[in-house]
Structure 1
Amino acid sequence: MIRVGVCGLGMMGNTHLDVYSQMEGVEITAVADADPDRLSGKERAGGNIEGQAQGGFDLEQVERFSDAGALIKEGAVDVVDICLPTPAHLRFAVQAMEAGKHVLIEKPVARTLDQAEQLVAAARRASGMTMVAMCMRFWPGWDWLKQAVDQKTYGSVHAATFRRVAAHPGGAFYLNGDACGGAALDLHIHDTDFVQYCFGVPAAVTSRGYSTVTDAVDHITTQYHYDDVPLVTAEGGWAMASSFPFTMQYAVNFEKATAVFDLAAEHPLTLHHAGGDTQAIELDPNMGYQHELAYFIDCIRNGRTPDVVTVEDAATSLTVIEAEVESVRTGRTVTLS
């Protein structure tokens, strides 16, 4: 039995609790949150898409801590799942690593590249497994795209466009640009990470965006420059009107087909063949969270270092995000080494 402690009972902490509670051979033994109402279960953070943070797990079943450090030090846990506000990731992830725990860190891996690099170094020293929860690498329809790109199933990619926009989630943390990093870091990083997962680190980025809800970048569009892919862009933001639904999409134009994903569609993934036929691709009904957590637990169980996503990968994505933000601020194309 693998014992899990979840630190942070916001949207993602509750989503992870839901998933772990359905897994065989896994026991949630502890949770931590500084908010007494969340810790007691009186208040529950909700999700922004159907299936997130269902709140079905009974917190009274487990040991509860008001401090993540106490859970790491005193909790009967093998795995520490860090779903805390981003600036707290470094402190508590390193503490958990040094305590010999396996560690899952919710995205973004850290608030700054310097913090991310410290986490990379700590993970290399650690005796346990460490993984960053970049869920799009595991999301049904997105894992399909990664395979299609790698195997050139429909030929080379001519263009790839990703879009992830929503209304602002509200709350003190997300209103503080210094803390959350704005939508560029907290939301858009999903697509920045997936772009580099599919195509590698871009040679340069050209970004435009603006701030409206916070003093960080709240809405951004980026062109990622590659020598072998003519056009790769991504848009991300949380500056839409309050009634605007969460939107998660891509359109990828291959030589022989065009793949279109829309989370809100009845059939989220549609493949338009060059010959004129249109095909709805059947997808696993689960979300990426189930697959990423199952993968991490399987790595622990079998002593296999996670390689679908590494701490180094997450740090690289943060490098690209910081270049994008610099491009927005300066109005210039920013080169990546």
Structure 2
Amino acid sequence: MVNVGVIGLGSMGNTHLAAYGSVPGCRVVAVADADEGRRTGRTGAGGNIEGQGSGGGFDFASVRAYADASELIADPEVHLVDVCLPTPLHARFAVAALRAGKHLMVEKPLARTAAEADTIVAAAEEASAGGQIAMCGMCMRFWPGWVWLKEAIDDGRFGRVLHARFRRVTSHPPGSFYADGDACGGALLDLHVHDTDFVRHAFGAPEAVFSRGYAKHTSRPDHVCTQYLFGDGGPVVTAEGGWAMHEGFGFEMQYAVNFERATAVFDIHQDPVLTLIDGEGKRAVDIPGGMGYQPELAYLIGCVERGEAPSTVTLADAANALRIVEAEGRSIASGRIEAL
């Protein structure tokens, strides 16, 4: 049994608590948050998608609750530390957990900057010699509609991809963290990184990016449109992400991928969520329900149990996604194509 301690009980911390409840082979034994209401479960946190951030009825009275995250990391009964703190704190506590001999889960983005992410990667590489497992929560690699898409791209069932468009937009989330561009990195880092990572996962590293965007609520880009450039013969790939829509807009998560012999469309608000259009007409694609968090954490627990380093997503993958996002930020600022 893998004993888990979750640090940071905002939206993602509570999302992870709910997901662990349906993952065999693990149990949450400790939580940590500086806010007493959160660490006792009296104060909840919402998320973009219905059911996210609720905690799923987690029994806070059944676990040890720490005000100081360092005390959770030092708890000898905790085997795996799950860091869901604000992004600027990821590197500090991730490295501390690894140096304390713990397995590690870090919510996305891996760190505030690619340079900070590299410190986590280096610490994890050193810890791996002792059998420690570390992973970053790039959940779209585990989201059912995105898993199907990656498989369709890899096995070529519809021919090669000609064009892919990803879209993830919402209104500005509440809270002081999301109002501070220096802390959260704007939607460019905190939200859009999901699609940047998946583009790299599906198509490989782009040669360059060309981005346009603007700030609205923070000092950083709150809306971005990026073209990922793959060179001659590569697909045309674009992604739009942002939290600059007016309050009440809701949350939209979509993709449209045009293969040589079919077009696949995902829309989180449609029924079915995934549709395929080809020579046989338009039909629903049968994919598992649910979000990506439970399969993501089940995969991590399985890796810990087997003593096997994660391969579906590595810390290096998460750090490289930050490098691309930072290039997108430079492209917005310069108005030019940014090479990678």
TM range (shorter): over 0.9
Q: For residues 265-280 of structure 1, what are the structure 2 equivalents within 5 Å?
A: 265-273=270-278, 275-280=279-284
TM-score (structure 1 length as normaliser): 0.98
Return the alpha-carbon distance in structure 2 between the equivalents of residues 241 and 52 of structure 1: 21
Shift of 1:22: 2.2
Return the alpha-carbon distance in structure 1 between the equivalents of residues 320 and 225 of structure 2: 19
Q: Does 1:74 align with 2:79?
A: no
Return 5+ residue gaps in structure 1 as ranges: none
Q: Does 1:241 align with 2:219?
A: no
Return the alpha-carbon distance in structure 2 between the equivalents of residues 211 and 138 of structure 1: 30
Q: Would you say the 8 A contact 1:222–1:234 is kept in 2?
A: yes
Q: SS state of the match for residue 144, structure 2?
A: coil
Q: SS state of the match for residue 326, structure 1?
A: helix
Q: Would you say the 8 A contact 1:63–1:75 is kept in 2?
A: no
- Residues 257-293 of structure 1: CA distance to partner in whole angstroms, max 9, x if unpaired? 00000011111100000x2511201111121001100
Return the alpha-carbon distance in structure 2 between the equivalents of residues 242 and 220 of structure 1: 18
Report the identity percentage.
Answer: 55
Give the structure 2 partner of residue 51 of structure 1: 51
Q: Does 1:9 align with 2:9?
A: yes
Give the structure 2 partner of residue 192 of structure 1: 196
Give the structure 2 partner of residue 284 of structure 1: 288
Q: For residues 151-190 of structure 1, what are the structure 2 equivalents within 5 Å?
A: 151-190=155-194
Choose which of 284, 288, 302 in structure 1 pairs with 2:306.
302
Q: Does 1:34 align with 2:38?
A: no
Q: Does 1:141 align with 2:145?
A: yes
- How many residue pairs get aligned? The number is 335
Instruction: Tell which deviates more after alignment, 316-325 or 277-286.
Output: 277-286
Shift of 1:245: 1.2
Q: Would you say the 8 A contact 2:106–2:136 is kept in 1?
A: yes
Q: SS state of the match for residue 183, structure 1?
A: helix
- The structure 1 segments of at least 4 consecutive aligned residues displaced by more than 4 Å after TM superposition are none
Q: SS state of the match for residue 141, structure 1?
A: helix
Return the alpha-carbon distance in structure 2 between the equivalents of residues 176 and 21 of structure 1: 32
Return the alpha-carbon distance in structure 1 between the equivalents of residues 99 and 235 of structure 2: 45
Instruction: Tell which deviates more after alignment, 251-260 or 65-74.
Output: 65-74
- Residues 44-69 of structure 1: CA distance to partner in whole angstroms, max 9, x if unpaired? 11122012122310111100001111
Shift of 1:86: 0.4
Q: Would you say the 8 A contact 1:30–1:75 is kept in 2?
A: no
Give the structure 1 partner of residue 25 of structure 2: 25
Q: Does 1:251 align with 2:252?
A: no
Q: Would you say the 8 A contact 2:45–2:54 is kept in 1?
A: no
TM-score (structure 2 length as normaliser): 0.97
